[in-house]
Amino acid sequence: MTRPPTPDARPCPWPTCPKRTKAAYLMCREHWYMLPEDIRARINETYRPGQNALTASPAYRAALRDALDYARHASRNPDSHPEMTPVSRQLYAVLPIPAHPPYPRPCPVCGGHGVTGDRYEMATDGGPILLVDVICPDCGGCGNGDPEHTECTANAHAYPDEYGADDDDQADNDGGPACYSCGSGRGWNAVQGIGQSDDGDPEGLAVLRVPCGCSADRLVIGFDPDALASAPEVTPDA
């Protein structure tokens, strides 16, 4: 089923592009990032919210003209624009893996990291593609190899209730939840996911570490998913 366009959406002006974009955006995300950086900078510097063809500044109209000229020429001659590479077309984001305490007995399955090392791509509505980690099925995400989990904080586990989480683990200083989505403010939710093979067939069942909205400012964003796959670990907030 095709979703009808929203009233404030308009076609992307890149020739032959079938996508629609919000009225406040010049182009769809893919084609915006195919413009040269200097043209994008000029558009951003001269655009004023609420402007129209009559009120836009001469500098903005000149930048807009260059952007549309570039789009027309690039769509007819893609090989003549080396900056139009796949790396400039799609943004990826990943939530760094916290540095867990050095447990005396690290989990033998994940080596104490809390995740298996596998990652899946998860599409978002108009935003970057999320690279989500698979939570270790043996330790539940804490990285601790002790089956009693006596040294773990409840928030380190995919399902805190399984490890005796209490209200203090999930509350902020005012007594309410630190985050109304993930509850603890840890920045992620455990979500059951099914993988997909190269042929598109369902493959495997895993618990995914999906970023929560409260972790938006902690996401590492870039164009190269291979580089993001080795995002540095960070020490969780005390």
Burial per residue of 161-185, b for 16 or more beta-carbon CB atoms within 10 angstroms, e otherwise: eebebeeebbeeeeeeebbeebbbb
106 has a pLDDT exceeding 80: yes
Token duo for residue 165:
């989480």
Predicted confidence (pLDDT) per residue in 60-82, tens digit? 888 988 888 888 888 887 666 55
How much is the average pLDDT of 186-202? Answer: 74
Kindly report the three-state secondary structure assignment for every residue of 46-74.
Answer: HCCCCCCCCCCCHHHHHHHHHHHHHHHHH
| CB of 190 closer than 8 Å to CB of 140 | no
- For residue 8, what are the CA distances in angstroms to 5, 22, 30? 8, 6, 19
- Categorize the per-residue pLDDT at 6 as very low, low, confident or very high, splitting at 50, 70 and 90: very low
* 172 has pLDDT over 50: no
Task: Answer yes or no: is pLDDT of 236 > 80.
Answer: no
Overall average pLDDT of the 28-37 stretch: 85
> What pLDDT is attached to residue 166?
44
What's the pLDDT tens digit per position in 133-162? 999 999 988 899 998 888 887 678 887 655
| Stretch 2-24: mean pLDDT | 71
Q: What pLDDT sits at residue 107?
A: 92
